[in-house]
Chain A
């Protein structure tokens, strides 16, 4: 077997050193009832690289690849061009095959990268401190709610109706078990988010109000009034961002008064990957909250010779020290995805990120104008970044999407998929337009959408 270096001669010599006659002497503590007489039944035997590759390629071939068709899906996962050097760097064995940097003297590569990552995320979010990443945006969202309950010692969270429904589901799943109260709502199908309605739901028991920016319908609005309303009641504002590229064009959540900013970092460096692994981003505007943060934090220090170096720090918040009193149970984070994010962000820089954001917005405006000309279609949003909602004039969006896929166009995400069973949302379609869409792709979508709407009852 190509991954196992021991030879039978080695094994015999090692057993002799141990004083065992057979390998099964080392498994004597396994009770009789659990012993197997040979390889487990019902599974194939070992296979060559070629045979395995053939098997996996056959499975991959059954999927419609985003890059091969006009593609407009978003709703929390965005397709961006990832520069070739990103993947080259994350495949370096020193990064790929390292562990969590518990021995900092021989992990400065990972640690310095994390320090750069934390700095990039904090600046992008308009915050003081970001952590070294969490699993993904949705779990980061729950961690933010949990942190807000610790900071405020209150147990109620108000969720905006326009928070990604999967994020809201994750928060509700967890809150059910922790005994926290979650006040959620459905999104109002309005050109602008209903911030007044949201603010009216904040009360004296509210630990935090959670708002997505841009929201699930692609809308953007000034959240400063929400921050003021939350702070007036002693609550925190948690802002969720699922598209970091948007912050290359739009004001940062921290600037608008968010106390905790969390999000999905997948857009930069990571790729679509059918939903994972992704990259949870987590930051606090005010450094006073740092000791209540979940997850790993990398900090600067010096070594015994006075040279600058980096270590994981403030670990007394964490499970391996605090056990049941930890701020989170998280152990592994999303280190390699953080590296991909940081390399991509380094390639972009301030200028590149602003240009990338501008190009996304330009194409999205172009698409919105073109799609608005399709008979029966209206663009809902007043304002948007690179994603907007189309109303399909009473036509079921899920069926249209499936039909578009059959026509070779991945046309968007139907709100019916995200909010099953909600009649008011069945005719809405989310369309995301990134720099990877060409003007020809937009024209093709418009034409196929027009045809599909005509033929769908």
Chain B
């Protein structure tokens, strides 16, 4: 235990100039570390990888005089060149399939391949959103079944399925809250958000036209209940609280907070980004939640895809359910499923309207439902327990050398939070993150939440073996020990990634956002 790692690498093996050693190559490649030019440097305007009939310049057209006269400026590659170009690019990426990816709050768990296979069944992948409803009963049933799972797992009576991602789900919940207040002629202007919240929370509330006020955290890393209660009043529309919170702790006073908010005429939005810690163990409905989004791409294993697509269904309380966005699915008396849209004037009730063109992220619904069916109620409970167990194991395996600001607050949930106290020689959290890259890991989330100096948020998820976690702990300890010792070499890390540290300041000062030439 606590040996640097099994490969024998030691900091002193870095050459004196701090650079990666070895002779230069003509190509710039280093064996399997392959450089790849931009598409626009290798593609040609007259090359295509798709066989189509040649354009007949003399064919009559009905483009109303708007036929393109100028070149678009695109370039093409044949199929073998295309496959090679993007395969070579893919190898410059880190993904869960390659290794441990403990990015806190992002829940980088294994993406089961059965999900991918099911989403590609032509009966799901090749159907049009505006097909007659009698031709897509199976699709509507998938949405209905997934909604049933989400309501049952959260103990909530209703769900809005159309939000496209977590932040879009937040928007859905906040708009439902505004619509509910408006329906009773109660104009409220303020939404309270803890200072530890994810940035989307205040951005969402502001996007929906609210003024945002911060609620402080207690020294133990939870919402300051007294401060929150003191701020409640007739101008407060609601609160947005993440539970488990971004410090990795369960908000144990959540029910008390919810009761106080309801007493003051407000609603409770729960950011469900961290639902994976409690799925199958705790039903948010039992805690007084009015609205909560669920990131299917976190808790229910749909792939993150290098930044989306996500999917953010929102469960709603009885009080907010009537305001759910269009469209939604109902089941008729004879068992058929149908969409309630703008035209169903009576059934749509006081819905606040449409948030997106169609019915939500169907491709993510099929994946998430596949995952839920695979795990079942028993498996999902085990998911939460193993995720929490792994996070606590990391917390207790690191806290002797790494500052764990809330380590004394009790067990953590699905993620362990550390700070940069005692790092020497001007070394920072960023340096530790880059050091972990050299060890073959994707770093944890850094500098978030903002309430901890130099925060490092480590979320292992349940899909890692004990051996994988032990190996990570050994590597993490080694890098932290270098930071505590002020090892200057860490400032230049990573050494072994496809790129050394990138000049982000320069990128922002003179933005170059498209290929020129």
Measured in the bound complex, the distance between the Cα atoms of B51 and A359 in whole Å is 12
B371-389 vs A, Cβ < 8 Å mask (1 yes, 0 no): 0111111111111011011
Contact of B308 among A300, A334, A413 (CB under 8 A): A334
B108-129 vs A, Cβ < 8 Å mask (1 yes, 0 no): 1011101011101111111111
Looking at the assembled complex, report how far the CB atom of A114 sits from the nearest CB atom of chain B, in whole angstroms.
Answer: 8
Contact of A274 among B127, B164, B280, B395 (CB under 8 A): B127
Residues of B within 8 A of A39 (CB): 280, 376-378, 380-381
Whether A118 lies near B513 (C-beta < 8 A) is yes
Measured in the bound complex, the distance between the Cα atoms of B70 and A255 in whole Å is 9
338-386 of chain B: CB within 8 A of chain A:
341-343, 352-364, 366, 369-370, 372-383, 385-386
Measured in the bound complex, the distance between the Cα atoms of B161 and A253 in whole Å is 33
Residues of B within 8 A of A418 (CB): 130
75-114 of chain A: CB within 8 A of chain B:
75-77, 79, 83, 85, 87-110, 112-113
Whether B83 lies near A20 (C-beta < 8 A) is no
Known contacts A324-B203, A410-B135; decide if A31 and B62 are in contact (CB<8 Å): no
Residues of B within 8 A of A413 (CB): 130
Whether A79 lies near B126 (C-beta < 8 A) is yes
Measured in the bound complex, the distance between the Cα atoms of B212 and A322 in whole Å is 13
Looking at the assembled complex, report how far the CB atom of B300 sits from the nearest CB atom of chain A, in whole angstroms.
Answer: 12
Contact of A85 among B48, B82, B305 (CB under 8 A): B82
A1-41 vs B, Cβ < 8 Å mask (1 yes, 0 no): 11111110011011101111001011111110111101111
Measured in the bound complex, the distance between the Cα atoms of B362 and A277 in whole Å is 7
Residues of B within 8 A of A167 (CB): 357
Measured in the bound complex, the distance between the Cα atoms of B312 and A332 in whole Å is 11
Chain A to chain B contacts (Cβ below 8 Å), 23 pairs: A4-B386, A6-B389, A34-B283, A36-B283, A56-B373, A104-B499, A106-B498, A110-B307, A112-B38, A119-B40, A132-B307, A135-B309, A170-B356, A222-B66, A272-B125, A274-B363, A300-B507, A301-B506, A304-B502, A318-B199, A347-B50, A355-B55, A401-B132
Q: Which residue of B lies closest to A300 (CB)?
A: B512
- Say yes or no: is B76 at the interface (Cβ < 8 Å to chain A): yes
- Say yes or no: is B334 at the interface (Cβ < 8 Å to chain A): no
Whether A250 lies near B66 (C-beta < 8 A) is yes
Residues of B within 8 A of A169 (CB): 326, 342, 353-354
Whether A275 lies near B362 (C-beta < 8 A) is yes
123-156 of chain A: CB within 8 A of chain B:
123-124, 128-130, 132-133, 135-139
- Say yes or no: is B95 at the interface (Cβ < 8 Å to chain A): yes
Measured in the bound complex, the distance between the Cα atoms of B66 and A347 in whole Å is 25
Q: Which residue of A lies closest to B361 (CB)?
A: A276
**Which of A44-52, A200-208, A440-448 participates in binding chain B?**
A44-52
Q: Which residue of B lies closest to A369 (CB)?
A: B62
A51-83 vs B, Cβ < 8 Å mask (1 yes, 0 no): 111011111111111111001010111010001
Besides A103-B437, A349-B74, A352-B52, 17 new A-B residue pairs in contact (Cβ under 8 A), listed by A number = A17-B397, A20-B411, A56-B366, A60-B138, A76-B358, A96-B305, A106-B497, A106-B498, A138-B356, A272-B127, A276-B129, A277-B308, A301-B512, A303-B501, A318-B199, A354-B72, A382-B62
Whether B48 lies near A303 (C-beta < 8 A) is no
**Which of B2-10, B167-175, B420-428 participates in binding chain A?**
B167-175
Whether B76 lies near A346 (C-beta < 8 A) is yes
- Say yes or no: is A282 at the interface (Cβ < 8 Å to chain B): no
Residues of A within 8 A of B264 (CB): none
Whether B126 lies near A349 (C-beta < 8 A) is no
Residues of B within 8 A of A30 (CB): 250, 252, 278, 281-282
Looking at the assembled complex, report how far the CB atom of A31 sits from the nearest CB atom of chain B, in whole angstroms.
Answer: 6
Contact of A365 among B46, B61, B93 (CB under 8 A): B61
Looking at the assembled complex, report how far the CB atom of B39 sits from the nearest CB atom of chain A, in whole angstroms.
Answer: 5
B181-225 vs A, Cβ < 8 Å mask (1 yes, 0 no): 000000000000000001110111111110010000000000000
Known contacts A98-B305, A250-B66, A301-B503; decide if A116 and B165 are in contact (CB<8 Å): no
**Which of A228-236, A307-315, A370-378, A449-457 participates in binding chain B?**
A307-315
Measured in the bound complex, the distance between the Cα atoms of B129 and A137 in whole Å is 14
Whether A358 lies near B59 (C-beta < 8 A) is yes
- Say yes or no: is B494 at the interface (Cβ < 8 Å to chain A): yes
Contact of A29 among B74, B206, B250 (CB under 8 A): B250
Contact of B128 among A46, A95, A264, A410 (CB under 8 A): A410
Most buried by A among B65, B363, B395: B363
Looking at the assembled complex, report how far the CB atom of B178 sits from the nearest CB atom of chain A, in whole angstroms.
Answer: 6
Q: Which residue of B lies closest to A5 (CB)?
A: B465
Whether A64 lies near B63 (C-beta < 8 A) is no
Contact of A346 among B69, B85, B137, B354 (CB under 8 A): B85
Whether A384 lies near B62 (C-beta < 8 A) is yes
Whether A42 lies near B396 (C-beta < 8 A) is no
- Say yes or no: is B75 at the interface (Cβ < 8 Å to chain A): yes
- Say yes or no: is A290 at the interface (Cβ < 8 Å to chain B): yes
Residues of B within 8 A of A277 (CB): 164, 308-309, 311, 361-364
Whether A52 lies near B127 (C-beta < 8 A) is no
Whether A311 lies near B128 (C-beta < 8 A) is no
Measured in the bound complex, the distance between the Cα atoms of B310 and A409 in whole Å is 33
Whether B200 lies near A276 (C-beta < 8 A) is no
Residues of B within 8 A of A132 (CB): 307
Known contacts A177-B209, A277-B363; decide if A354 and B396 are in contact (CB<8 Å): no
Residues of B within 8 A of A6 (CB): 386, 389-390, 462, 465-466
Whether A251 lies near B68 (C-beta < 8 A) is yes
Contact of B165 among A42, A98, A331, A421 (CB under 8 A): A331
Contact of B63 among A176, A249, A314 (CB under 8 A): A249
- Say yes or no: is B471 at the interface (Cβ < 8 Å to chain A): no
Whether A27 lies near B281 (C-beta < 8 A) is yes
- Say yes or no: is B153 at the interface (Cβ < 8 Å to chain A): yes
Most buried by A among B110, B124, B396, B397: B124
Residues of B within 8 A of A437 (CB): none
**Which of B96-104, B314-322, B479-487 participates in binding chain A?**
B96-104
244-267 of chain A: CB within 8 A of chain B:
247-252, 255, 264
Measured in the bound complex, the distance between the Cα atoms of B212 and A356 in whole Å is 49
Looking at the assembled complex, report how far the CB atom of B206 sits from the nearest CB atom of chain A, in whole angstroms.
Answer: 4
Measured in the bound complex, the distance between the Cα atoms of B500 and A320 in whole Å is 24
Residues of A within 8 A of B393 (CB): 14, 17-18
Whether B96 lies near A97 (C-beta < 8 A) is yes
397-419 of chain B: CB within 8 A of chain A:
397, 410-411
Whether A349 lies near B125 (C-beta < 8 A) is no
- Say yes or no: is B477 at the interface (Cβ < 8 Å to chain A): no
Whether A95 lies near B411 (C-beta < 8 A) is no
